[in-house]
Amino acid sequence: MIKRYLSSLALALGLAVAAAPALAAEDGEDLPPSGANVYDQASLQRGARLFFNYCVGCHSLKYVRYSRLAADLGLSEDEVMKNLNFTGAKFGETVVSHMPAEDAKGWFGKEPPDLTLEARAKGSDFIYNYLNSFYLDPSRPVGWNNTVFPNASMPNPLWELQGLQVAVHPEGKAGADAPVEKLELHTKGSMSPEEFQAATRDLTAFLEYTAEPAALERQSIGVWVLLFLAGLTFLLYLLKHEYWKDVHEHH
């Protein structure tokens, strides 16, 4: 019975672990992995700082409250309200962009999407590679294009950090419709390529967190559940051993 119980537990854990990567790589299975770690609190804090400094001007997180961010990211109310809240929202309110919807539609052709569930919809690998794949394209209305999401209507919000990338086309091919062979850094930004990749990894981790904040709590609870099951299994083993001891002695 004990062996059967342990086998079932191991199978359940194995299925859970095996299923996790499939969800994250739904849209980005052919893309390089992001390496984002949603359980790294320091990374989440850095990612939050990037989001609120470079993204919240256009994008909202309508399903995340400032108070929840403080609790999950290990920040005080004062730190959140001073460093992350630029709209005058209350501590218990959700994160809403301060750009009027009509202005956004006028500039970009449509209202920028809410990003709360973006990591669940696109996958972390997609977000990370998307943030690293902007390049200058004069043929586009906003002057930018993206190799991961071609003809995106969004300009590169992190260009000051990354610098300006240009597309390199195969020899003999040019023009707006020519395929992009690779991207080259034309003008350096305030970060080195390695520093920028680390920054976008942090931002990706933060967006992965906003898509499922309960994941952090679930992991902490899961550790205690596994410890409880391990202790219970040990007690059941002792009980079995004590019960069968008398049976063996009589034989």
Which is more confidently placed, 179 or 19?
A: 179
Which is more confidently placed, 29 or 17?
A: 29
pLDDT recorded at residue 104:
63
Mean pLDDT of 119-142: 95
Residue percentage of the chain with pLDDT more than 70: 76
CA angle 219, 200, 121 (to 5 degrees): 60
Over residues 49-70, the pLDDT tens digits come to: 999 999 999 999 999 999 999 9
User: Residue 95 is inside which H or E element, if any?
Assistant: strand 94-95
Q: Which of 8-17, 34-43, 134-143 has the lowest mean pLDDT?
A: 8-17
- CA dihedral (43, 48, 53, 56) positive or negative: positive
Q: Mark 117-137 as b/e (b = at least 16 C-beta within 10 Å).
A: bbbbebbbbbbbbbbbbbbbb
Confidence check: pLDDT of 111 > 60: yes
At what angle are helices 124-131 and 193-211 packed, to 10 degrees? 140
Mean pLDDT of 29-38: 90
pLDDT recorded at residue 216:
65
Over residues 69-98, the pLDDT tens digits come to: 999 999 999 999 999 999 899 999 999 997
CA dihedral 47, 48, 54, 55 (to 10 degrees): 110
Q: Which of 73-82, 112-121, 201-210, 238-247 has the lowest mean pLDDT?
A: 238-247
pLDDT recorded at residue 235:
75
Sequence-ordered alpha helix ranges (H) in the chain: 2-24, 41-54, 66-73, 77-83, 101-108, 118-122, 124-131, 159-162, 193-211, 214-250
| 144 neighbors 51 (Cβ within 8 angstroms) | no
pLDDT band of residue 219 (cuts 50, 70, 90) is low
Annotated binding site for heme c: 55, 58-59
CA 21 to chain centre: 13
pLDDT recorded at residue 244:
74
Report how far residue 86's alpha carbon sits from residue 33's, in angstroms, rounded to the nearest whole number: 32
Annotated binding site: 55, 58-59
Per-chain mean pLDDT for the chain: 83
Confidence check: pLDDT of 25 > 80: no
Residues in the chain: 251
| 61 neighbors 95 (Cβ within 8 angstroms) | yes
pLDDT recorded at residue 4:
41
The residue whose two tokens read 């099951």 is: 229
Q: Which of 20-29, 135-144, 179-188 has the lowest mean pLDDT?
A: 20-29
Report how far residue 179's alpha carbon sits from residue 168's, in angstroms, rounded to the nearest whole number: 9
CA-CA distances (angstroms) from residue 8 to 1, 2, 11, 20, 228?
Answer: 11, 10, 5, 19, 16
Q: Which of 71-75, 106-110, 154-158, 220-224 has the lowest mean pLDDT?
A: 220-224
pLDDT recorded at residue 202:
98
pLDDT recorded at residue 220:
59
| 201 neighbors 46 (Cβ within 8 angstroms) | no
